Chain A
Amino acid sequence: MEVVLFYIMAGLILVFSVLTVTSRRILRAAVYLLFVLIAAAGLFFIQQFAFLAAVQLTLYAGGIIVLIIFSVMLTSHVSEKLDAVSFKKASFALVACIAGAVVCISTILSYPFPKPTNGEVDASMKAIGTSLLGYKENGFALPFEVISILLLAAMLGAIIIAKRTEK
């Protein structure tokens, strides 16, 4: 069952990723990205990280995509088509990317991964909560707080940058 689901998800991710970076209509690209993100959330589900999948769905699919769509609306027409990518540019980029992918994949395939330790992951809300606010081993209280400050700073920064400067 999981195997089938995995391949479906993987296929979706790859197809929509390619569509995201090639579509000439920007709003469609955003929607394709949404599909990619949802499929990635599906992958997390398969691995029984339900909470992470939920976060992926709400934050990425719910928040970021909406933000992107808003900014698309603010800066361009919905019907507008982007310029076609120049062949030279595309081919150079493609060569670099394929080369990179080949190097990585060949490395992955040639590496002798050990057999997985088939333990059950305890990704219950309780485990996540105690771990996120824990300050002992495997506790993430400090990064948690740092992230909260980062979010605050980003919020302020975004407001100040986007504010209309008076002349």
Chain B
Amino acid sequence: MMNDSYSYTVAIPLILFFSFLIIGLAGGKLKPIVSGIFGTFFLLISTALSYYTAYSYFFVDGKSNGVYQQLIAYDSLWLQFTDKLQIHVGVLLDPISVMMLVVITTVSLMVHIYSLGYMKGEVGFSRYYSFLSLFTFSMLGLVLSSNIFQTYIFWELVGVSSYLLIGHYYERPSAVAASKKAFIVTRFADMGFLVGILLLSSFTGTFDFLKLTDPNGSALTQGSAISFLGLSVMTWSMLLVFMGAAGKSAMFPLHIWLPDAMEGPTPVSALIHAATMVVAGVYLVARLFTVYFFAAPDALIFIGYVGTFTSLFAAVIACTQTDIKRVLAFSTISQIGLMMGGLGVSGYSGPEGLGYTASMFHLFNHAMFKALLFLCAGSVIHAVHTNELWDMGGLKKHLPVTHIAFLIGCLGISGVPPLSGFFSKDEILTAVFEKNKLLFYVQFLVAGVTAFYMFRLYFGIFWNKQREYHTKPHESPFSMLFALIFLSIASTFVGLIPFSEFVTPDLKPFTSHIHWAIAIPAIIIAVIGLVLAFVMYRKESDLSGRLSGSLGILYRAAYKKFYIDEIYLFITKNVIFKHISAPIAWFDRNVVDNTMNGIAAITNFVSMRIRAFQSGQLQQYAYVMVSGLVIIVLVALYFMKT
């Protein structure tokens, strides 16, 4: 449905693209702080527009007959190959895209403000801000896409900006390796995504989200009939699309890039690798939820299992890591796993769509408190210049504001009421409980483990024993604290938003309640985790050492991230490179190249020999011509006679 009154929304991403161009082109000439303020200012405009859009969509005219409308705010034909194969560029407004607008612009704005302090005096300050603008532009473009092809384009653009920002400190080999790893792993996943898109659109005949996700439309029924290896083509294509989503959202086994991506500046981790880009996969699955639910329910169940497994897997690893940013990275993976799990068990109409709603709700809350946690971690790192948990301790009195903000974030993620995480996690658990008991128990366990590792971090940093620091830790500048305070307030109160009134799979609002039968055990297990962490890490003790010692090999495996990286390295190096690539390279170098070189060498040799004919002596040429002519005439005469 076209709607012209929202056509200004196309400016929300475009402003940031101009910001990227201006800072990127003129950044070298500007004073660093000027480009920082420039970027922040442009983003402020975008944020204001997004808030206005959200307000008018949710509260003024988004609904018609009690159902949220999917509005095409802008649409233009970009490429036309045939009558059927057309690629549009457009803006689609519906509850999830509007919600994502708010999330992205809010977190991005906070990160922009925070970075003014955090990145002060760093080399490449302007570059950093131009890439932040590029990233925010791409991410907004991604969520506003009106068709899956446009999504793919922006999907790659966020991948590029993520690559650029992870490699911000490109003098450090580890940062370079991390950015390459992130890019290659997500590209590998995107290959599946692309194949999925092509399959999907070739069987449904459209790229358009509105046509694809129309539950009464013809798109969903096509392709379901054709099956391949026991699954329908729709299931295959949706599984491939999920492969792309899993790559971006760091689902097992494609999660390996996210912990390494922490090499980037901490605000970047907060923005890209916690709040926005990594949830793009969740967003994509939610965007195509109708297709999954009606045409590929098997794929949806698969997503639920993968999400839940990843959630547990990452939570266990998070308990053993000692780099605070890596702990947060694994916690991000774990939380995204929960969202995927929620989506996987969701129904479609009415209150059955609780999983979907809860997943989106958790995405929203998670963006707030995880950004908060990362920014706090950044503040701590800023103060003590290390990432190692055991090099910190006793920072409570040095960093009072960061301490409180971090505590709020931890309580939020652990699901302690009345902070935001409690509400969304409760909804996810409820939805899972009604659908699949096994997944419920796993996620229930994850809730406890989450509380444990988060408070391990909290006590380790702020309580524990005071360490020797090179310089006395000091509280961060105001611009950083402002972001922390803002996000703390947000994480505290966003949980009170009645999300089911806004975001539902069938676009019809419903009312949800807190299910105390599930909520109370969840709170109890969170508190158990909390207390366990309190006992072990409140002050210096050998309890944790004894525990990890007794767990032995299990602990070591978790500490080594279950050797997934090593398995990948083994497969790529020893299997693919050694036994496939190396022979091909040999063939290329020796057979293909030598054939070509041989032809060139023969030509060269022959021409060196025959160039003596080209003597420049006119009379020689004439002589050859005359005698040749005579010979030709003789031959011709001979043949004419016979």
What residues make up the interface of A, taking CB atoms closer than 8 Å to B? 89, 92-93, 96-97, 99-100, 103, 107
Q: B496 on the interface (CB 8 Å rule)?
A: no
Report the bound CA distance from A89 to B618 in whole Å.
13
Q: CB < 8 Å: which of A93, A97, A103 contacts B634?
A: A103
Q: B524 on the interface (CB 8 Å rule)?
A: no
Q: Is the CB of B637 within 8 A of A96?
A: no
Q: Is the CB of B627 within 8 A of A96?
A: yes
**Closest chain A CB from B209 CB (angstroms):** 71
Report the bound CA distance from A97 to B622 in whole Å.
12
Q: CB < 8 Å: which of B619, B623, B633 contacts A103?
A: B633
The digit string for B324-343, where 1 denotes a CB below 8 A from any CB of A, is 00000000000000000000
Q: 13 A-B residue contacts at CB 8 Å? A: A89-B619, A92-B623, A93-B623, A96-B623, A96-B630, A97-B626, A99-B627, A99-B630, A100-B626, A100-B629, A100-B630, A100-B633, A103-B633
Chain A residues whose CB sits within 8 angstroms of the CB of B633 once the complex forms: 100, 103
Known: A103-B633, A103-B637. 12 other contacts (CB 8 A): A89-B619, A92-B623, A93-B623, A96-B626, A96-B630, A97-B626, A99-B627, A100-B626, A100-B629, A100-B630, A103-B634, A107-B637
4 pairs of A and B residues whose beta carbons are closest in the complex: A96-B627, A100-B630, A99-B630, A96-B626
Residue of A nearest to B629 (CB): A100
Chain A residues whose CB sits within 8 angstroms of the CB of B629 once the complex forms: 100
Report the bound CA distance from A89 to B634 in whole Å.
23
Q: For chain B, give the interface size range.
A: under 10
Chain B residues whose CB sits within 8 angstroms of the CB of A100 once the complex forms: 626, 629-630, 633
Looking at chain A's contact residues, the main secondary structure is helix
Report the bound CA distance from A148 to B252 in whole Å.
88
Chain A residues whose CB sits within 8 angstroms of the CB of B626 once the complex forms: 96-97, 100
Report the bound CA distance from A114 to B630 in whole Å.
26
Report the bound CA distance from A147 to B629 in whole Å.
29
Report the bound CA distance from A96 to B623 in whole Å.
8
**Closest chain A CB from B640 CB (angstroms):** 10
Chain A residues whose CB sits within 8 angstroms of the CB of B619 once the complex forms: 89
**Would you list which residues of chain B between 610 and 642 have a CB under 8 Å from chain A?**
619, 623, 626-627, 629-630, 633-634, 637
Chain B residues whose CB sits within 8 angstroms of the CB of A107 once the complex forms: 637
Report the bound CA distance from A103 to B631 in whole Å.
10
**Would you list which residues of chain B between 105 and 148 have a CB under 8 Å from chain A?**
none
Report the bound CA distance from A89 to B623 in whole Å.
10
Chain B residues whose CB sits within 8 angstroms of the CB of A89 once the complex forms: 619
Residue of A nearest to B641 (CB): A110
Report the bound CA distance from A103 to B629 in whole Å.
11
**Closest chain A CB from B622 CB (angstroms):** 9
Report the bound CA distance from A93 to B625 in whole Å.
12
Chain B residues whose CB sits within 8 angstroms of the CB of A97 once the complex forms: 626
Chain A residues whose CB sits within 8 angstroms of the CB of B627 once the complex forms: 96, 99
Chain A residues whose CB sits within 8 angstroms of the CB of B634 once the complex forms: 103
Report the bound CA distance from A89 to B622 in whole Å.
13
Report the bound CA distance from A99 to B637 in whole Å.
14
Report the bound CA distance from A145 to B290 in whole Å.
83
Report the bound CA distance from A97 to B623 in whole Å.
10
Report the bound CA distance from A100 to B629 in whole Å.
9
Report the bound CA distance from A133 to B77 in whole Å.
67
Residue of B nearest to A89 (CB): B619
Report the bound CA distance from A100 to B625 in whole Å.
12
Report the bound CA distance from A103 to B630 in whole Å.
8
Chain B residues whose CB sits within 8 angstroms of the CB of A96 once the complex forms: 623, 626-627, 630
